[in-house]
Amino acid sequence: MTPLEIWTYSIVGLTFALYIGIAIWARAGSTSEFYVAGGGVHPVANGMATAADWMSAASFISMAGMLAFGGYGGSVFLMGWTGGYVLLALLLAPYLRKFGKFTAPEFIGDRYYANSARVVAVVCLILASVTYVIGQMTGIGVAFGRFLGISYEMGILAGMGIVAVYAILGGMKGITYTQIAQYVVLIFAYTIPAIFISLNLTGNPIPQLGLGSTYIGDDSGVSLLAKLDQVVTDLGFKEYTTQVMGSTLNMFVYTLSLMIGTAGLPHVIIRFFTVPKVADARYSAGWALVFIAILYTTAPAVGAMARLNLMDTIQIGPIGEESSNLVYDERPEWFKRWETTGLLKFEDKNGDGRIQYYDDKNAEFAAKAESFGWKGNEMVTVNNDIMVLANPEIAALPNWVIALVVAGGLAAALSTAAGLLLAISSAISHDLLKGVFMPQITEKNELMAGRLSMIGAIILAGYLGMNPPGFAAGTVAIAFGLAASSIFPALMLGIFAKRMNKNGAIAGMIAGITVTLLYVFQHKGILFIPGTDFLLPDMGMGANWFFGITPEAFGAIGALANFLVAALVSALSAPPPEHIQHLVEDVRIPRGAGAATGH
C-alpha cells in the first residue's frame, strides 16, 4: 500500500466512523424527529447543515472545474446557486415555517385543498430529486474508485452503506448532525489545498486575494489572471476573463433557472421545517449563505489556479519550439493515475511523443499549429471533474492534503445524497402513504414506512449511479430546472396569490415540468431507461432551438410556462374556498410557528 493510500484510508475511515457514531447517538424515535429533527435545531447549526446539504459533489468537485474551463461564463453557477438562497430566505422559508407541516408537497396539498395537487407535487419532487441524486452517486463512485483502489461499483455500494446507516437510523435528526460534521470536513478539505496553491503561485495565503495578486512563477510581474489569459490565448483558447457560456440571454436565463431551482429544491426547503421559530428560518438561510460563501468565494481561485497549473505542466517552453511540450513518457505520476479513470486521455496524433494541448477548433491558431507540425489537440479528454481532486497532486502537495480532499469530496456527495433521499422517503411515506392512501396509519407504522422508503430510495439511487441513463451528464443543472419549473411556482403562488386555485396550480405544475422535460430530451435521442431502447423521437428542431437557450438553462422558461398556465386556468375557474384564502393571509404574516395550521 502506497503512502497516499494509507493516508486516504485513514482519513476517510475516521470521517466515516464519525458519521456512524453520530447516527447511533441521534437515532430518531418519532416521525417528527425522522422528518424534521423534532423542529428544535438551532439556526446556526441548521445553517451549517443546510450548507452541507446544499454543497453537493457538483459544488465541491465540479464547480471549480466548470470555472477552470468556462472562465467568466462559469460565474452563472456562483450567482445562480447563491442568489437562490436570497430568494429562499426572503420569499419562501419563513412562510413555509409558519405553515408548520413537514414537507413542500404537504403545503401544496393543503394550500390547494386537493390530494391530487399533493400527488403531482410528489411526482415533480421525485423527478427532480432522483435526477439530482444520480450526480451524487457518480461523484461517490469516482472518488472511491480513483483514490481507494476499488471499482466504481464497489465505491457506490460503500457510499450506499454509509448513507443507509445514518439516514435510516436517524432520519432528519441523524442527517442534520452528520451534515454539520460533513460541513467541517468538506470546508477544510477545500480551503487548505487552496491556501497552499495560492501561496505557491502568488505568495498570498488567502485564495480570494491570491486570484488578483501578482503571479510569482516568473518575472513577468503580471497578475495571476493576466498570466492565465496570456497562457490560454497563446494556445488558441478563449480569453479566460471574458469567456461566456453561449449568448448573454442564455447566461441570464441559466442564472435565473439556477436561482429559482435552488429556492424550489425539496431537500433544501425541508431544512427550514427543522427550526423552532419562524425568525429562525430566516436566520438559518442567512447563516447558510455565510457558510456557503466560504467555499463559493474560494472556488474561482481554485478553478483559475488549477487551469494555470495544468497548462504549465503540459506547455513547458516557448510555443512552437520542438522541445516546448511535455514528453508523454515523462508525464508526472498524477497524470498516469488519472488516465486510469478515463477522465484524462491522450492521443499522439503526430507521432512525436510529445503532448500538444491547444484549441484546434480555432481556425486561426490551427493554421499556425500546423506549421509547427501539430496535427490536432492531443488531450482528447480533460474532464472538468478532475480539477479539484487532481489539483493538489498537480501542485505536488503532501499526501495528507490529497487524502483530505478525497474525504471532503465524499462528505459533499454523501451529505447531499442523504438530504435528497430523505426528501424522496418523506414524499412516499408521509405525503403519499399518510397523506393520501392510508391517513389512519399509526405514527409507529409511518416511521417504519419512512425507513422502508429510505431503503428503497437508496437502492434506486445506487442502481441509477451504476447504470446512469443517457442524460447523466449535466444532471445537476437539469435537476435545478425541474425544480424551478414545477415546485417553485406552486409555492410562490400558494403564498402570494390568494386567488390561485387547485386547478391552476395542478395545470401549472404539469405544464412547467412537461415543457422542460420535452426541451431537455427532444433533440438528444436520450435513453430514458437503462438497458432499453426507449427513445423520445427526434423532432428535427436541433439543439438549443429556442433563442439559443441550452437545455440546462431551460428551467426558467418552464417556470414562466407554469406561472402563465396557472394564472390562466385559475382565472377561468372558481376561486378557492374562503377558509383557504384566510389560510393564505395567515401564512403571509410570518409570526409564530405553525399558527396557520394549528401546529
Residue 591: DSSP 8-state: -
The pLDDT value recorded for residue 525 is 44
Taking CA atoms, 54 is separated from 48, 267, 396, 426, in Å, by 10, 8, 30, 18
Q: Over 90: is that where the pLDDT of 444 sits?
A: no
pLDDT tens string 135-163? 778 777 777 766 666 777 888 888 788 87
- Give the pLDDT band (50/70/90) at residue 472: very low
Q: All 3 cell numbers of residue 198?
A: 495560492
- Domain boundaries defined on the chain: 3-305+395-587, 317-387
Q: What is the average per-residue pLDDT within 236-263? A: 87
Least confident stretch, 5-9, 14-18, 340-344: 340-344
The segment with the largest mean pLDDT, out of 35-39, 98-102, 558-562, is 558-562
How many angstroms separate the CA atoms of 583 and 579, rounded? 6
The pLDDT value recorded for residue 536 is 39
Least confident stretch, 305-309, 353-357, 504-508, 530-534: 530-534
Q: All 3 cell numbers of residue 370?
A: 500546423
10 or 270, higher pLDDT = 10
How many angstroms separate the CA atoms of 276 and 38, rounded? 9
Q: What is the average per-residue pLDDT within 448-468? A: 83
Taking CA atoms, 591 is separated from 99, 100, 282, 432, in Å, by 10, 12, 12, 29
Q: All 3 cell numbers of residue 177?
A: 448532525
Amino acid at 160: M
The dihedral through the CA atoms of 297, 299, 302, 304 has a sign that is negative
- Give the pLDDT band (50/70/90) at residue 6: confident
Residue among 414, 367, 230 nearest 304 (CA): 230
The pLDDT value recorded for residue 146 is 65
The pLDDT value recorded for residue 201 is 94
Length of the chain: 599
Q: Classify the phi-psi angles of 307: left when phi > 0, otherwise alpha if psi is within -120 to 50, otherwise beta.
A: alpha
pLDDT tens string 201-217? 999 999 999 999 999 98
Residue among 17, 123, 47 nearest 431 (CA): 123
Q: All 3 cell numbers of residue 475?
A: 444532471
The pLDDT value recorded for residue 526 is 42
CATH number of 3-305+395-587: 1.20.1730.10
Q: Over 50: is that where the pLDDT of 473 sits?
A: no
Percentage of the chain exceeding pLDDT 90:
29
pLDDT tens string 282-303? 888 888 889 999 999 999 999 9
- Give the pLDDT band (50/70/90) at residue 596: low
The pLDDT value recorded for residue 298 is 93
Averaged confidence pLDDT in the chain:
83
pLDDT tens string 317-337? 888 887 889 999 999 888 888
Evaluate whether 485 touches 520 at the Cβ level (below 8 Å).
no
Instruction: Please list, residue by residue across 530-551, b when 16 or more beta carbons sit within 10 angstroms of its beta carbon and e when fewer do.
Output: eeeeeebeeeeeeebeeeebbb
Evaluate whether 420 touches 267 at the Cβ level (below 8 Å).
yes
426 or 210, higher pLDDT = 210
How many angstroms separate the CA atoms of 118 and 124, rounded? 10
How many angstroms separate the CA atoms of 25 and 37, rounded? 13
The pLDDT value recorded for residue 599 is 42
How many angstroms separate the CA atoms of 121 and 144, rounded? 34
- Give the pLDDT band (50/70/90) at residue 530: very low
- The SS3 call for residue 148 is coil
Q: All 3 cell numbers of residue 382?
A: 480533460
Dihedral through CA 256, CA 258, CA 260, CA 264, nearest 10?
A: 170
Least confident stretch, 69-78, 142-151, 159-168: 142-151
The pLDDT value recorded for residue 570 is 96
- Give the pLDDT band (50/70/90) at residue 520: confident
Residue entry with cell 429562499: 88
Q: For the chain, how many helices (H) and strands (E)?
A: 25, 2
The pLDDT value recorded for residue 532 is 37
Element holding 230 (H helix, E strand): helix 224-234
Amino acid at 580: I
Amino acid at 23: A
Residue among 134, 120, 118, 158 nearest 56 (CA): 134
Residue among 98, 472, 498 nearest 277 (CA): 98
Q: Over 60: is that where the pLDDT of 12 sits?
A: yes
Burial of 351 from C-beta contacts in 10 A (0-12 / 13-18 / 19+): exposed
pLDDT tens string 332-373? 888 888 887 777 899 999 999 999 999 988 888 988 999 999
